[in-house]
Amino acid sequence: MDIKKYFDYYSTVIPIEKVMELSENDLDDLYANSEEVDRMNVFFHLFNEYIYLKQQDAKKETAHICYLISYYVFHPLTPPHSENIALEYAKKAIQYDNDIKYNDWIKEVMRGN
């Protein structure tokens, strides 16, 4: 999947059938290869994807995006209050899909790793 096309300024949402292909490594690469403003825009693209998936009632995909929002805020972006924001979205992920990966992620966020 050419992930960058979904993170251009005027891009569309990631199609539901492609969401699960988006990974932590993709987000790390986007962060590493972007200018500062585009790094922030990645967050807003993810947030818009969250809203879209929630409206579509795509629970598994919504959980995945919540997890990725949490990951992106906690690791590469690390804005002020990143732990609180990451924890909130990690909890949302579990509300949509109680996957062990998301439960383990909450523990990592709470440890502050």
DSSP string, 43-61: HHHHHHHHHHHHHTT-HHH
Q: Identify whether 46 is part of a domain.
A: yes
Q: Which residues contact 47 (CB under 8 A, 6 or more apart)?
A: 69
Q: How many domains does the chain have?
A: 1
pLDDT in tens, the chain (113 residues): 688 899 999 999 999 999 999 999 999 999 999 999 999 999 999 999 999 999 999 999 999 999 999 999 999 999 999 999 999 999 999 999 999 999 999 999 999 86
Token pair, residue 82, equals: 């990143």
Residue 40 lies in a domain: yes
The pLDDT value recorded for residue 2 is 81
Is residue 42 situated within a structural domain? Answer: yes
* 19 part of a folded domain: no
> Rounded to whole angstroms, what are the CA distances from 4 to 22, 42, 53, 68, 88?
11, 10, 19, 16, 26
In a domain, 83, yes or no: yes
Residue 28 within a domain: yes
Would 61 be classed as within a structural domain?
Answer: yes
What does the pLDDT read at residue 87? 97
Q: ∠ at Cα 34 (30, 39), nearest 5°?
A: 75
Cα separation, 59 vs 50, whole angstroms: 10
Note down the domain range covering 106. Answer: 24-111
Residue 12 belongs to a domain = no
